[in-house]
Amino acid sequence: MLVDDYDPLKGKMLQILDKDGNVDSALEPKIDDKRLLEAYRIMLLTRIADEKSIRMQRQGRLGAYPPSKGQEASQVGPAMALGNEDWMVWAFRELGALLMHGAPLWRTMLYWMGNEEGSNYGEGIRITPSSVPVGSQIPHAVGMSFASKYRNEKGVTLCFFGDGGSSEGDFHEGLNFAGVMRTPTIFLCQNNQWAISLPRELQTASKTIAQKALSYGFPGILVDGNDVLALYSATKEAVERARRGDGPTLIESFTYRLSDHTTSDDATRYRTEQELKYWNERDPIDRFRTYLIRKGIWDDAKERALAAELNQFVEGEVKRAEDFAKPTLDDVFGHTYAEMPDSLRSQLEFHRRDLGLKEG
C-alpha cells in the first residue's frame, strides 16, 4: 500500500517520474499505451485550451477564466483512475480533470462565457457544476458519496479543492463526516502553493495538508503534483479502498499554478521570478513527454501532428460555444432556486425594466 509507505507526518512525497522524466521502475504503474497517450493528449489539450481561453477573455469573448497551466498532471492523473460510474466534484480550476472524465470542451467554455448550459456535460457524465464559493463543494461530495454507500452503489466520489479550500469550515465538516461514516470519498487537494495572493505558509501551520487526514481517522498521502503517474497510482489505490468499503482518503497534490489566479489577477505583484523559474523546470507536460519518448511510443513528429490537430479542435469547440444560443435574463435568474423567492423576483423585474423588457 502506497499510503503505508508515505507517512505524511514525515513529509515524504510519492514520486514516480522525477523532474527530468526518469521513472522509478519499482513503482511504475501498469497502464496500457493507449491510455497513456490519451492522458497525454488531454494534458496538452488542457494547456492549449487554457492559452486560447486567456486570449479570448482579453478579446471580450469570455467573462473570466482561472488557468490550469502547471496543474495538468494534478488534474488528469486523478481523473484517469476513475470509471464512468464514479462522480467528480470540482472547484473551478480543474479543466484537465473535466476533459479526462468526459466533459466536452465547448461546454466548459460556455460556462466561462456565463452560460449555465455550460454545466450540462451530457447524459451519463458524472460531473457536478463548478463551485466557486471556496470549499463549498466538499460537503456536497461527502453527501453524494454517503448516498452512494446508502444505496449500495458501486461509484465513488472524487472531490477537488485547493490549499485555500482546506482552511474553510466546510473542509472540517466534510472530512469529519466522511471519516465517521466511512464514505467512499477521495479528497484531492491541489496544493498549488497560493490562494490568490496568500502563500501556503500563511494558509496553515501544518507541515503538510495530507497529515490533516490522520486527525479525521483515515489515510492521507502527499504526492508530487507534477507527476501524472504518481497521481494516478495514489488515486487508484484510494478508489479501490473506497470501493471495497474501507472509506475515504486525502491526497495532497503538491503542485504549482504557473499562470495568474484568474484573468483578473497579476501574479507578478506577489511572487518572484525565481519561484516561477523553479516550477517551470518542473513542468508536468515536459516530464510526461520525456517518459513517453523513452518508452518508444512518442516522438517529435507525433508531437507536431498532435499540436496541430488540437489547435484545430480547440477552434472548432470555440465556434460551437460561440454559436450556442445566448442566455436570456430569465435563464440567468432561473438557475438559482427551483422556485424563485420574492427578493430575487423583484431584482429580475428591476432588470427587465432596466433593459426595456416586458414584465414577467
Ligand X SMILES: Cc1ncc(C[n+]2csc(CCOP(=O)(O)OP(=O)(O)O)c2C)c(N)n1
Q: Which residues are identified as catalytic? A: 257, 261, 270
CA distances for 117 relative to 94, 109, 218, angstroms = 18, 10, 37
CB 267 within 8 A of CB 260: yes
Q: Which does 133 bind (CB under 5 to 8 A by kind): ligand X, Mg ion, none?
A: ligand X
Q: Which is nearer to Mg ion, 162 or 219 (CB)?
A: 162
Q: Collapsing DSSP states into helix, strand and coil, what is residue 163?
A: coil
* Candidate list 163, 224, 237, 260; residue touching Mg ion; CB under 5 A: 163
Q: Which does 83 bind (CB under 5 to 8 A by kind): ligand X, Mg ion, none?
A: none
CB 40 within 8 A of CB 292: yes
- Asked whether position 261 contacts ligand X by CB under 6 A, the answer is yes
One DSSP character per residue, 277-318 reads HHHHTT-HHHHHHHHHHHTTS--HHHHHHHHHHHHHHHHHHH
Q: How many CB atoms lie within 10 A of CB 101?
A: 26
- Asked whether position 132 contacts ligand X by CB under 6 A, the answer is yes
- Asked whether position 202 contacts ligand X by CB under 6 A, the answer is no
Q: Which does 9 bind (CB under 5 to 8 A by kind): Mg ion, ligand X, none?
A: none
Site mask for Mg ion (CB under 5 A), range 189-228, x = bound: ---x--x---------------------------------
| Among candidate residues 174, 99, 165, 145, the one with its CA nearest the CA of residue 241 | 145
Residue spans of beta strands (DSSP E) within the chain: 13-14, 87-89, 157-162, 185-191, 194-195, 198-199, 220-224, 249-254
> Least distance to Mg ion from the beta carbon of 165, Å?
8
Q: Which is nearer to Mg ion, 121 or 161 (CB)?
A: 161
> Least distance to ligand X from the beta carbon of 254, Å?
13
Backbone angles phi, psi at 88, to 5 degrees: -120, 125
Q: Which does 93 bind (CB under 5 to 8 A by kind): Mg ion, ligand X, none?
A: ligand X
- Count how many Cα atoms sit within 13 Å of the Cα of residue 63 in the half-sphere of its side chain: 10
Sequence-distant (≥ 6) Cβ neighbours of residue 287 within 8 angstroms:
17, 18, 19, 20, 21, 73, 226, 227, 228
At 188, which amino acid appears?
Answer: L
Q: Which is nearer to Mg ion, 191 or 290 (CB)?
A: 191
**Segment interacting with Mg ion, rule: CB under 5 A, options 17-25, 156-164, 311-319, 331-339:** 156-164
> Which positions from 275 through 334 interact with Mg ion, judged by CB under 5 A?
none
Q: Which is nearer to ligand X, 115 or 259 (CB)?
A: 259
- Asked whether position 75 contacts Mg ion by CB under 5 A, the answer is no
* Candidate list 196, 202, 305, 308; residue touching ligand X; CB under 6 A: 196
Cell numbers that stand for 83 in this block = 470509471
Q: Crossing angle of helices 72-80/284-294, nearest 10°?
A: 60
Using CB positions, name the residue nearest to ligand X.
162
* Candidate list 162, 174, 247, 248; residue touching Mg ion; CB under 5 A: 162
CB 43 within 8 A of CB 72: yes
> Least distance to Mg ion from the beta carbon of 3, Å?
23
Q: Which residues bind ligand X (CB under 6 A)?
A: 93, 132-134, 162-165, 192, 194-196, 257, 261
Q: Which residues bind Mg ion (CB under 5 A)?
A: 162-163, 192, 195
